Structure 1
């Protein structure tokens, strides 16, 4: 029996590959298994090879597996493209329709199952994915009835006959595999799961849920991969809480509309990817100059330009910190797990309000779209902090011709803020440099005072931000420190275990606050390591450059880079790291 296995389904986009993976994984999640799923898909609606690789385990997993145990193929291309991943004793379950073949001399077992024929005989060729699920259940020695709850939740609204037809497709798929196998049938039976109920979600859903819990009531956005699921979630849920979503004509409109709504006092967010963030840069500068809260999600993908819209990359780092012209206070956060994504979404709203500045919640495609088992989210820990919003009773009475000092110079750099319509709170707003009451001013003394005030905002943020660095640092003096951000955490954790089996003392730091950089947190970790390996998905080592700028010790640092559009796997990361130690 296995503690974990890896299962993949592949075929052409638009023929039910995603739903096959969904039904298979949701059922196993409800049995109490931990799962991690990652989809490979093309940037088109229909056609082109797609696959969904799902890792199933009796313990927490946060990365794609190196190898593959079971491959479910709806076409020959799936076998040709993915066969190299299969373990020596792996299994291929393929549709009889395309007369599947595997390389001669291979120890892999091929089960040819008439997915399409069984489905057609039951009345609907679309049910071939359910036949495939049934065939998989036989290989894993799972009772086909284990899938009934999921089938009922998906098809129940269509009537009992539809539910029963789909269940029959699962049963016949399972029976066909059992009938063609003998007593020596190769199985992939898993150890029994703990049966506990856990969430199964993508990072984008966690981000959206965090915004909802944190008081967001308006979203303006333009659809873009891999951020669109945030908007789709909010479209469904925000109206239930008195909020709304507007799909704008472009990303520039989305950002400026978000600024306007935040100015009016409504907690508002927008979400995009690299190309959209490029268009938002001028608006981000406007939010910085007018000191208006603005929360933006950047789900990184392959660039530049249109680049690789559906592939993994982490190359927006420098752009998010330095992309705007001029200098403004800005916060860039980078959650590394689905749980952190939920809580950091709440915190992004709080920080934007408290510091009256743009906050960018940085994700990447693997974190945003990778679906995984999640322990219950701690909603009791949520607090909503609006910062220095003043009510009329707290304001001095204005004399005729006077205006409120909206941009008053303060010791902490954060000026008092009023919402439009507040009595005695009238003030000017402009994107040009201005004085304390918001009127344009080009006086050098005023310019320096306002710049200094704005830049003072972030001096204390690393100390007040909750866990700017995730640390797994058991060694006072380490042979190597592994550093990453966003979705690389799970793979780094497994790489750390592999290196420690070789006798190395390994520490791990996952940076969750990119800007302002948590130098005080990172410097002791880097100082106490003989070697620092910075792991990231880009070609130029952007995180490593930021580390060198903020903590020095350049002679200790080396980069482990991947930018081919696919996520790191533990085995390949281990080999790269070991070669550099």
Structure 2
């Protein structure tokens, strides 16, 4: 589904689009088959999205003039208020009357609705479950008893195994918990807020410390403190909150402390469009805080990747002793998608290099532990508080191998090089992006165009590729998962061999295209951009790519 709501405490126009197919789907599409309108404003705002033969379920007290609706649209007026009074339930439950009506319209089994209502309201008790169920059944019966069963669009059971329905934030939390995260600190900021809600709901079950801090500065510093003690720690925010975190982000880089940061993007600048979506923080994530230090940035493109890449982020953070950013956006973070059950054993936990307590205890060395020892791969053995003979100084200033503050020229050069080597080592270990054809088939050797993208644009791109294939246009897709270290060689290879190339991204300037040019020295042929706060629709990508292929 895809939800849209204004930045208001209460009121405003809210809408939720749900798409169902008998195949795996990857994004929302244009075109509405059933419009459930709880007020006339909804009809006026969305009537242009209705397809031929679509139906509108609406309150019969609203007057709809024939000129307001196309002739090929079917109207299903329902007396919501009368039904609510007749069955003796609260007025707020008329949305479930509409839900039941929509299920009847598509001729689906009402039993599943009752199960969903029971599951959603089980904490509120049997009375609330009963009232909501009766409201939905009343709407269902009204359609069945008052309209012919000839609506064009039906829904049938497929008989396929059940799937999970999750948001990207749900998947991130599940990935963090599976990775062994034991500390989460955050200040609520849309669209990352639901991570805090999820983790707080699970803290006792999984023995996690969850802190709702007074601000984002406290959040990241608490997470750094937890990481310093050897606990897998995470924080989450959006662009404005990450602005406050940047000093702490640099501190983690200097202290070489592992911490995972979920940066869930929304449109800026400043508070921008708080409840809408954009990919405008790519460069911010790559360059936040001052100076040079390892800044791994991972960009999941769907629900599954949100689960698995969050675990990879924890491994990178600990193995390479550095803060790691997982870059998401509102479209991925808050919208639901069905998915198969995750494999909890797919990503093996890697806690990185720790000093051996037995070796430390047996050591005759009475000096401080060389926590920042110069090593070939840049990764130094690590100790945590309480390890005998593992003491060292942890300073935000430049320091020597024992952590003591130093302004020595040679020390500075060696330390900068040591930290940088970690990224070189990481780059060699990461999986290179894979060039694929439509529906994840092998890449087309003679593709007309190659699309490059990162993040949640993956879904609508995959849908657009299906549409393009039907038009005889062969398309390859290269998804960038690791924004840093950037897969420069692979991207340069693809740019050099493709007939035409296009980058699809949700921002004004084409930040990913800029990064590609910076890292490879090559520019793409077309930047397909959208920056109105809404995610791409496949139809928009289809039109843009077809234009590039046809007319250049």
Inter-partner Cα distance in structure 2 for 1:428 and 1:303: 39
Aligned to 2:405: 440
**Bigger CA drift: 237-246 or 317-326?**
237-246
Q: What per-residue deviation string (whole Å, max 9, x for no partner) do you get for residues 317-373 of structure 1? A: 000001221101110000111011001111111100000111000001111111010
Shift of 1:381: 1.4
Q: TM-score, normalised by structure 1?
A: 0.90
> Where do residues 530-549 of structure 1 align in structure 2 (5 Å cutoff)?
530-549=499-518
Shift of 1:196: 1.5
Aligned to 1:324: 289
Structure 1 residues 159 and 436 mapped into 2: Cα distance closer, same or farther (>3 Å)?
A: closer
Aligned to 1:150: 116
**3-state SS, counterpart of residue 219 of structure 1:** strand
Q: 1:384 aligns with which of 342, 349, 364?
A: 349
Shift of 1:100: 4.3
| Residue 137 (1) aligns with residue 107 (2) | no
Count of aligned pairs: 543
Structure 1 residues 210 and 284 mapped into 2: Cα distance closer, same or farther (>3 Å)?
A: same
Stretches of structure 1 that go unaligned for 5 or more consecutive residues are: 1-36
**Bigger CA drift: 518-527 or 481-490?**
518-527
**3-state SS, counterpart of residue 203 of structure 2:** helix
Whether the 8 Å contact between 1:404 and 1:426 is mirrored in structure 2 is: yes
| Residue 576 (1) aligns with residue 547 (2) | no
**3-state SS, counterpart of residue 180 of structure 2:** coil
Q: 1:486 aligns with which of 455, 478, 481?
A: 455
**3-state SS, counterpart of residue 97 of structure 2:** helix
Inter-partner Cα distance in structure 2 for 1:219 and 1:151: 31
Q: 1:48 aligns with which of 6, 9, 12?
A: 12
Cα RMSD for the two superposed structures: 1.7
| Residue 109 (1) aligns with residue 74 (2) | yes
Q: 1:264 aligns with which of 225, 229, 234?
A: 229
Aligned to 2:307: 342
Aligned to 2:368: 403
Structure 1 residues 162 and 282 mapped into 2: Cα distance closer, same or farther (>3 Å)?
A: closer
Q: 2:484 aligns with which of 486, 503, 515?
A: 515
Aligned to 2:145: 179
| Residue 220 (1) aligns with residue 189 (2) | no
Q: TM-score, normalised by structure 2?
A: 0.95
Q: What per-residue deviation string (whole Å, max 9, x for no partner) do you get for residues 91-129 of structure 1? A: 110012333456154311111101232122222212211
Aligned to 1:39: 3
**3-state SS, counterpart of residue 134 of structure 1:** helix
Stretches of structure 2 that go unaligned for 5 or more consecutive residues are: none
**Bigger CA drift: 86-95 or 469-478?**
469-478
Inter-partner Cα distance in structure 1 for 2:425 and 2:382: 20
**Bigger CA drift: 185-194 or 364-373?**
185-194
Inter-partner Cα distance in structure 1 for 2:391 and 2:143: 75
Aligned to 2:45: 81
| Residue 98 (1) aligns with residue 78 (2) | no
Aligned to 1:163: 129
Whether the 8 Å contact between 1:462 and 1:468 is mirrored in structure 2 is: no
Whether the 8 Å contact between 1:117 and 1:125 is mirrored in structure 2 is: no
**3-state SS, counterpart of residue 318 of structure 1:** helix
**Bigger CA drift: 115-124 or 87-96?**
115-124
Whether the 8 Å contact between 1:469 and 1:512 is mirrored in structure 2 is: no
Aligned to 1:125: 91
Q: What per-residue deviation string (whole Å, max 9, x for no partner) do you get for residues 56-111 of structure 1? A: 11111121111111000001110111111100221110012333456154311111
Shift of 1:403: 0.8
Inter-partner Cα distance in structure 2 for 1:470 and 1:420: 45
Inter-partner Cα distance in structure 2 for 1:211 and 1:188: 40
